[in-house]
Structure 1
Amino acid sequence: MSNAALSVITSDPPEKWQEILADLITDPKELTEILQLDSNQGSDSLLAQSGLDRFSLKVPRPFARRMQPGKWDDPLLRQVWPSQLEEEVDSSLSEDPLQERSFNQAQGLLQKYRGRVLLTAAPHCAVHCRYCFRRHFDYATNTPGKQQWQETLGQIGRDSSISEVILSGGDPLAAGDNYLNWLLTQIDTLRQITTIRIHTRLPVVIPQRITRSLCQTLASLNSKLVIVIHCNHGQEIDSSVQLAMQKLRATGATLMNQSVLLKGINDDAACLVSLSHKLFDMNVLPYYLHLPDRVAGTGHFLVDEQEGLNLITEIRALLPGYLVPRLVREDPGSDSKTRLG
């Protein structure tokens, strides 16, 4: 690790990320009380218990502290609130819209595109985003132990066409430092791997997760490191997130962001322009703006393609090109994401 990194990462935050992860808000009533929300004003009806049993409420307290008290339309709250709208039946939506089951080549391994593979490095997240495209994913059969990982990594090592390994989940940073150090080191020793990419929402929802130990592991890798954070709205960014990004940047990682375009949350040019500026202030490049995947239970978040194109046209007139995210859609079976604008 460089001297610059050491000067930034002098110590871990006083709040331990493991304690925060163990103390998530899981009761909708508690969340409404914390945010002083009037249940008679402006709320979507709460999802029935059967729906919560399938996909529970999970909100980290640091993330909840960035929500505006008294506002049901708060953009952060809307991302996590379990609404009765999730029960609406729409035959155009699917539990597996990206057909990931067909790309699940081994336990914990998906290969959708040539040259790179995705590993589900952890089966859980710190937050349950209600628009999640893997809310129905079969993690029970995709959570390998070390022996199975070694077999999977051996399979990757025998395929010379693979040069990039992507850690996803769940959220890979929901795993502990020791486990991640072991897994990343194993990947880094594969001779043909030139790039390791990590997709994570943890630095945004629990920025305390970016520990000195984790940063030491990341900085020690010989492979190029790309970290893609998931941030949808500028309100998600506060000083603790800025510090987490500073620490990650100090490891030598390239930092990017991908957002999901969500109805009633960030489907507004001014909102997306503000997000791009805030990201770039942290040396994070706004890379992708995804149209929502057509996942069962998420119809109320969907934004149509033409609206997305109109927004990108507006944004392009307001920002330099490097701050305009690529509007994309994922089509199962395609060679890459489909760029729309």
Structure 2
Amino acid sequence: MQTLRTLEALENEGLVEADPRLADAARSMAIALTPELAALIDRTHLARDPIARQFVPDIRETETTPEELADPIGDEARSPVKGIVHRYPDRVLLKPLHVCPVYCRFCFRREKVGPGGEALSAAELAAALAYIRGHKEIWEVILTGGDPLMLAPRRLGELVGALDAMPHVAVIRVHSRVPIADPGRITDELLAALKPQRAGVWIGIHCNHPRELAPPARAALARLADAGFPLVGQTVLLAGINDDVETLCALMRALVSARVKPYYLHHPDLVRGTGHFRVSIARGQALMKSLRGRLSGLAQPVYVLDVPGGHGKVPIGPAYLGDDPDALTVEDAFGGRHRYPA
């Protein structure tokens, strides 16, 4: 089986039923489901399957609410140069491409990612690297997109090498779904491309359900860990997928056993057409309290909210929330205060 990229391909695999309303949902963002993840889907319970719900279009994606945003975390507001997001003083995002092995239906960049989406030209990438080179306060560069491990190993190696040649860049972090969604890409050539001479490289692994950690994914993670790369996990809290304590406990334990330290549990962003994925902050806090009593400290992620408008992530424990009866008041990392729908 090849990666499924159309409604027709999903229908042929028995993953959707013919429904003209799905066409609008499919047009709202690209479709991609790899054979590795498609094989994990329980076809007898499609509506509830946690893998299918993440990647298969849903007619509810056509439903939007006033608070939902095209750019929910404010990338554009913090982008001084194409491909760069400079939200915090000491680190930047570098987005060399917008292609992924799979397309998550809740993606906060859902209107940017996909085949034909913007990728940096050679001149644009040179300008982005020049920006980093010219800002000595940048200590960490986070490669994201899109998925940077979709780059050919030669191009990835050139990019890592260019960053490694900047003495003020001490850490290169790579955010990826590839080890989970397309584990065969974790080859010796790719591992060599990720190895700088000087800087530290960390790999952020996006994983939302314990069933994603099938043997091929675990083998790919083991290859990365055995090559010396520290691995951290990022999970999005998603209604009907992982918003129960048993699933989250199983996921965090599975990550730790695969040598991935749970890092962030993301509150879902205000992405257009994703209301069916969102849970309340109160629900997320209750789940975090339940995890605290059940899991080792190694398995505890930080529950965070990316404050709309480009104000950055904050942990959303009680100390960060006000008591406005009509809306939550969230304090960002810089002391600013912002209203957020309860």
1:191 to 167, 177, 193: 167
1:50 to 13, 17, 24: 24
Q: Is 1:26–2:1 an aligned residue pair?
A: no
Q: How does 1:232-251 map to 2 (within 5 A)?
A: 232-251=208-227
Give the AA of the match of 2:27.
Answer: D
Q: Once the 2 structures are TM-superposed, how far is the Cα of residue 61 of structure 1 from its aligned partner?
A: 0.9
Q: Is the 8 Å Cα contact of residues 47 and 86 (structure 1) preserved in structure 2?
A: no
78-87 or 54-63, larger mean C-alpha shift: 54-63
In 1: Cα distance, 2:111 partner to 2:16 partner = 31
Count of residues in correspondence between the two structures? 315
Greater RCO between the two (CA within 8 Å, min separation 6)?
Answer: 1
Q: 1:115 is matched with which residue?
A: 90
In 1: Cα distance, 2:117 partner to 2:86 partner = 16
322-331 or 25-34, larger mean C-alpha shift: 25-34
Give the AA of the match of 1:121.
Answer: P
Give the AA of the match of 1:236.
Answer: E
Q: Once the 2 structures are TM-superposed, how far is the Cα of residue 160 of structure 1 from its aligned partner?
A: 1.1
SS of structure 2 residue aligned to 1:258: strand
In 1: Cα distance, 2:56 partner to 2:21 partner = 9
1:242-294 per-position Cα deviation (integer Å, ceiling 9, x unaligned):
11111111222110000000000000100010011111111100111001000
Q: How does 1:208-223 map to 2 (within 5 A)?
A: 208-223=184-199
Q: Once the 2 structures are TM-superposed, how far is the Cα of residue 197 of structure 1 from its aligned partner?
A: 0.2
Give the AA of the match of 2:158.
Answer: W
Q: Once the 2 structures are TM-superposed, how far is the Cα of residue 219 of structure 1 from its aligned partner?
A: 2.8
1:170-200 per-position Cα deviation (integer Å, ceiling 9, x unaligned):
1111111111011111111011000000000
Change (3 A) 1:87 1:37: closer
Q: Once the 2 structures are TM-superposed, how far is the Cα of residue 51 of structure 1 from its aligned partner?
A: 3.4
SS of structure 1 residue aligned to 2:66: coil
In 2: Cα distance, 1:336 partner to 1:98 partner = 8
Q: 2:288 is matched with which residue?
A: 312
Q: How does 1:158-237 map to 2 (within 5 A)?
A: 158-237=134-213
Q: Is 1:277–2:253 an aligned residue pair?
A: yes
Q: Is the 8 Å Cα contact of residues 107 and 143 (structure 1) preserved in structure 2?
A: no
Q: Is 1:82–2:57 an aligned residue pair?
A: yes
Q: Is the 8 Å Cα contact of residues 208 and 242 (structure 2) preserved in structure 1?
A: yes
Give the AA of the match of 1:231.
Answer: C
1:299 to 270, 275, 278: 275
75-84 or 135-144, larger mean C-alpha shift: 135-144
Q: Is the 8 Å Cα contact of residues 229 and 255 (structure 1) preserved in structure 2?
A: yes
- Structure 1 portions without partners, runs of 5+: 1-19
Q: Once the 2 structures are TM-superposed, how far is the Cα of residue 155 of structure 1 from its aligned partner?
A: 1.8
Change (3 A) 1:334 1:185: same
Q: 1:267 is matched with which residue?
A: 243
Give the AA of the match of 1:52.
Answer: A
Give the AA of the match of 2:120.
Answer: P
Give the AA of the match of 2:77.
Answer: S
SS of structure 2 residue aligned to 1:322: helix
Give the AA of the match of 1:30.
Answer: A
TM-score (norm 2): 0.87
Q: Is 1:288–2:226 an aligned residue pair?
A: no
Q: Once the 2 structures are TM-superposed, how far is the Cα of residue 85 of structure 1 from its aligned partner?
A: 0.4
SS of structure 2 residue aligned to 1:105: coil
Q: Once the 2 structures are TM-superposed, how far is the Cα of residue 69 of structure 1 from its aligned partner?
A: 2.5
Q: Once the 2 structures are TM-superposed, how far is the Cα of residue 334 of structure 1 from its aligned partner?
A: 6.6
Q: Is the 8 Å Cα contact of residues 157 and 191 (structure 1) preserved in structure 2?
A: no
Question: Aligned Cα RMSD in Å?
Answer: 2.1
SS of structure 2 residue aligned to 1:219: coil
Q: Is 1:153–2:167 an aligned residue pair?
A: no
Q: Once the 2 structures are TM-superposed, how far is the Cα of residue 37 of structure 1 from its aligned partner?
A: 5.7
58-67 or 217-226, larger mean C-alpha shift: 217-226
